[in-house]
Structure 1
Amino acid sequence: MLQAFYNGMSGLFAFSKGLDNVSNNVSNMNTPGYRGSDTFFRSIHGQNGEGYGAGIAGTQVRTTAGEVRQTGNDTNVAINGAGFFVLKSEQDEVFFTRAGQFDVDKDGYLIESVTKHQVQGIDAAGNLFSINIKDQRTLAPTPTTKIEMIGALARSGTSDPSHEVGSIKVFDAAGSEQVLTVSFTLQQVPENSWQVDVKDPDGVLLQTGQIIFGADGTPLAGFNAVNVSLTANGATQQIVLDFGLPGSYNMATQVASGASHTLSAKVVDGSAVAGLSAFSFDEKGVIKFTYTNGEKRDGSQLALADFPDQSELIASAKSVYRAPTNMKPAYGRPGEAQFGDIQGGYLELSNVDLAQEFGDILIIQRGYQASSRVMTVSNEMLEQLYNGTRGG
C-alpha cells in the first residue's frame, strides 16, 4: 500500500511536468520560429524489473516547420526548407533559430531583434562571420568620366550656324555637382567640321576641340570625341565627350539641312554621395542594397546550419536553440546542398498544433486524476489498517 501511494505520487509529479511542457507549447503558439516539444515518460524499475512509479524521460523538439506568413518587412526572413539561422552572442556562444526577425544595431551589425545576438554570414571559403552593413550605409561619390552627345547638327537651314547645349550636370571626385556648357560652331575648313568649346558656369573655357563628320553624316575616326579636363575641389578629372562610333548613326550625326539642331547631352556616369534607402534578402540569402541614387549593390550572404537530428536540439530562452556537445552542425549557404531557400519579407510562425495540445491535455488530466485516485485509495486503506490495528 505504501508503494502504491508513492507510485501514485510519482504519477502526479510526472503528469505535472507533462502539463508544464504542454502549457509552454500553448503559450508560445504565436511566437515566431518556436518549435513545440513533446514530453516522454518512463517507468522507474525496482527489484526484479517490476515497475515502481513513473518519471520523465525527457523532451524532444518537434522538427516540422511552422506556417510561413508575409510581414511586409524586408528585414524579416524565413527558411523554405531545411536549416537554421546562426547567431552569436557577446560571449561568443553559438545559437540557432528559425525566427528571422532581423534588425540593424547602432554599430551596423545585423542582429536577431529579440535576443540581440549577431546574425552570422558565410564567406566564399565557408567561414562564418558577423554581418555588418556599416560600410554599406553610404556609397562613395564617383566622378563623371563620360558624356554622350546624341542628336543631329544641321549645316544649313537654321537661323544660327552655331548650337549650344547647356545645363550639363556632372560630378567631380568629391561628389559635388558641376554644370558645363558645350557650344558648337560650324567651320568651313575642313569641310563638315565643328569647333567644340566647353565652359564652366562662370564662362571660363575649359577645353576647345574639333569634331568632323563624313559625307554620310557620321563621325570620322579620330574626330569623334573631345577630352575635357575639369579641375574642381582640388582634383582634376578627365571627361570624354563621345559623339559615337565612326560610321555609326547611333549617337551624333550631321545633316545637310534642318530646321534646328537636335544635339543633346547624356551624362553616362558619376554620382554624389548616396545613402542607403532600403535593403532586402534574395532567395540565396544575399543582402540586396538599394541607394538613394537608384544604384543597387550586393552584400553578405546568410549562413545556415543543419543537424543530423534536430529533435536533440536544446531549447534556450527567446526561441533559440543550442546544439548538444556531441552533435556538430553542418554549415552552408541557402539553396545549396540540403539547405532551403530564403523568403524575404516573411516569418516562420510556431509549429504548435492546438488540436494536438488539447488532446495531450485531456490525456494528462485523466492520468493525473487516476494517480490522485490511487493515492486516495491507498490512504484510505492505510487509514483502515491503522484503525483496525488500534481497535484490536
Structure 2
Amino acid sequence: MSSIMQALYNSVSGLFSFSQTLNTISNNVSNMNTPGFRGSDSFMENVLDSNGSKVAGTGYDLSEGQIEQTSTGTDVAIDGQGFFVLQDPQGTTYYTRSGQFQFNEKGQLVDSVNQYLVLGYGTDGSYGPIDISSLEKLPAAATTSISLSGNIDPTSPSDDVSNVTVYDAQGNAHALTVSLTSNTSVTPGSWLVSITDAGGTALGSGEIRFSTDGTLQPGYTTLTATGDWGPSPQTLAFDFGTAGGLSGATSFQGSSSTLAAQVEDGHGVVGLSSQSFDTTGTLQLTYGDGETKAGPQLALASFQDESSLQMIQGNLYLQPQTQVAQIGRPSSSIFGKIDGSSLEMSNVDLTQQLAEMIVIQRGYQASSRVMTVSSDMLQQLYDSTRGG
C-alpha cells in the first residue's frame, strides 16, 4: 500500500519537474530573436530517500550568440567577453549583451527598448553616461590659409579666380576674387595680384613671379589679405606654391589657364551627419563638411562568475551581491572588441530546444502513465477490500 502511494507521489513530482523544465524551454524559444539573450537550462535532482524528483535550479548558457550586421550606426555587438553597462533614471545599474542603442533628444546614448542610459568614458576620461550634446555641432572656425595651383598662360593679359569662399570667426561666408594682371612688360614673369570681396573692396595685393622655366621664383610665392569682418582683423595667407616646384602655380606657354584656389581651413557651424563605433568602442563622429572627431567610448563590465547574474528581462541582468563588476574599455585587458553596426543575436539553438522538448514530453507521458497505473492499483485494492 505504502509503496503504491509513494509511486503515485513520485509520478506527481515528475510531472511538476517536467512542466517546470518545459517552462524554461518555452522561455528560451520565445526569446530566440531577442538580441543578446542567453538561454537557460533546468537541472533536475533526486529528492531525499529517492522520493521523486525536483528542479534543483537553472543555469545560463554563456556561449556567444551569432553577430549579425545591421544598417544602424549606433548598433554594437561585443566580440568576446563583457557586458554593456546601463543605468535607469533611479540610478540602478544593469548589464546586457544587447547593443541596440540610439541617441535621444538630449544627445544621450540610450538602449532603444527601455531608454536606459548607456555608460562609458567621456573625451576627458570621466566615467558616466555617454553624452554628445556638446559635440552635435562644430563651432565656426575662421579661414586662415588658401592655396592656389594650376597653370597661368604667360601670353594672357589677366586671369581671375572667383568665388573663393572663406569664413570669418562667426561662421559667415565671404566670396573673394583673386585677380592677376600681367606685369611682364615691366618685369619678365611678373604678375600683380589683388584680392577683393564680393562688394569690390580691396583686401590685399602683392606680386608673384615666374622663372623662365615656368616655376615660381623665391620670394614671390605668397601674399596676405586682411578681412575686417569681426571684432579684430582676419589675416588670410594666399600660397601659390613652392619656388622651383610644379605642385603649385606654374606658367607654361601653350597651356591654357587652369589656376584654381583651395581653401585649407575654416568653416561655418557644421552639424553631425553620422555616428559609428570602432573596435575599441570609441564613437567616431562625422560632420557635414567631412571632418571626423573621436567622441566618448563605451564601457564594458566583466564578472568572475557570469552564471550568478540575475536575469530580470530577456536581455537585462542585475549584479549579484556576492560579486563586484570589473569595468574597463573594449579591446583591452580581458574585454572583447566592438563590432559596429552589428547586433549579437540570441544564443538559443532551436534544434536543441525542440529535441529537449521531445524528451520532456516523453518523460511527462511516462510519469502520467505511472500515476494512472498507481491509481488503478489503488482502486483495485479498495475494490478487493470491499469485496471481502
TM-score by length of 2: 0.88
Please give the per-residue CA displacement for 1:230-276, whole angstroms capped at 9, x wherever unaligned. 12255532110112233433212445x55754433222222222222
1:352 is matched with 348
Residue type matched to 1:102 in 2? F
Deviation, structure 1 residue 192: 4.3
Deviation, structure 1 residue 60: 0.7
1:325 is matched with 321
SS in structure 1 opposite 2:100? Answer: strand
Q: Which moved more, 1:377-386 or 1:317-326?
A: 377-386
Please give the per-residue CA displacement for 1:348-378, whole angstroms capped at 9, x wherever unaligned. 2211112221222222223323333343344
1:7 is matched with 10
Distance in 1, Cα, partners of 2:122 & 2:259: 49
Q: Do 1:147 and 1:242's aligned partners in 2 also have CA atoms closer than 8 Å?
A: yes
Distance in 1, Cα, partners of 2:23 & 2:149: 76
Distance in 1, Cα, partners of 2:310 & 2:90: 18
2:358 is matched with 362
Q: Do 2:122 and 2:295's aligned partners in 1 also have CA atoms closer than 8 Å?
A: no
SS in structure 2 opposite 1:366? Answer: helix
Please give the per-residue CA displacement for 1:59-92, whole angstroms capped at 9, x wherever unaligned. 1110111222222322222222222222222222
Q: Give 1:229's match in structure 2, choosing from 205, 226, 233.
A: 226
Distance in 1, Cα, partners of 2:255 & 2:288: 40
Q: Residue 186 and residue 358 in structure 1: after superposition, are their counterparts in 2 closer, same or farther (change >3 A)?
A: closer
Q: Which moved more, 1:237-246 or 1:180-189?
A: 180-189
Deviation, structure 1 residue 341: 2.2
1:238 is matched with 235
Deviation, structure 1 residue 55: 1.9
Q: Give 1:169's match in structure 2, choosing from 159, 165, 170.
A: 165
TM-score by length of 1: 0.88
**Cα RMSD after superposing both structures:** 2.6
Deviation, structure 1 residue 381: 4.3
Q: Which moved more, 1:343-352 or 1:119-128?
A: 119-128
Q: Runs of 4+ in structure 1 displaced over 6 angstroms?
A: none
1:64 is matched with 63
Q: Residue 189 and residue 62 in structure 1: after superposition, are their counterparts in 2 closer, same or farther (change >3 A)?
A: same
* Pair 1:112 & 2:108 matched: no
Please give the per-residue CA displacement for 1:217-238, whole angstroms capped at 9, x wherever unaligned. 5444444221111122555321
Distance in 2, Cα, partners of 1:101 & 1:12: 39
Higher strand share: 1
Residue type matched to 1:24 in 2? N
Write the mapping of 1:287-366 to structure 2, written as runs, cut at 5 A: 287-366=283-362
Aligned residue-pair number: 384
Residue type matched to 2:323 in 1? M
Write the mapping of 1:179-218 to structure 2, written as runs, cut at 5 A: 179-187=175-183, 192-213=189-210, 217-218=214-215
Q: Do 2:210 and 2:217's aligned partners in 1 also have CA atoms closer than 8 Å?
A: yes
Q: Which moved more, 1:316-325 or 1:367-376?
A: 367-376
Q: Do 1:122 and 1:332's aligned partners in 2 also have CA atoms closer than 8 Å?
A: no
**Unaligned ranges ≥5, structure 2:** none
Q: Residue 126 and residue 227 in structure 1: after superposition, are their counterparts in 2 closer, same or farther (change >3 A)?
A: closer
Deviation, structure 1 residue 216: 5.3
Write the mapping of 1:94-109 to structure 2, written as runs, cut at 5 A: 94-109=93-108
How many percent identity over aligned positions?
A: 43
Residue type matched to 2:229 in 1? A
Residue type matched to 2:191 in 1? W
1:272 is matched with 268
Please give the per-residue CA displacement for 1:290-321, whole angstroms capped at 9, x wherever unaligned. 22222222222222222223222221214112
Distance in 1, Cα, partners of 2:13 & 2:89: 41
Distance in 2, Cα, partners of 1:125 & 1:388: 87
Q: Do 1:206 and 1:230's aligned partners in 2 also have CA atoms closer than 8 Å?
A: yes
Distance in 2, Cα, partners of 1:349 & 1:329: 23
Distance in 1, Cα, partners of 2:103 & 2:385: 76
SS in structure 1 opposite 2:43? Answer: strand
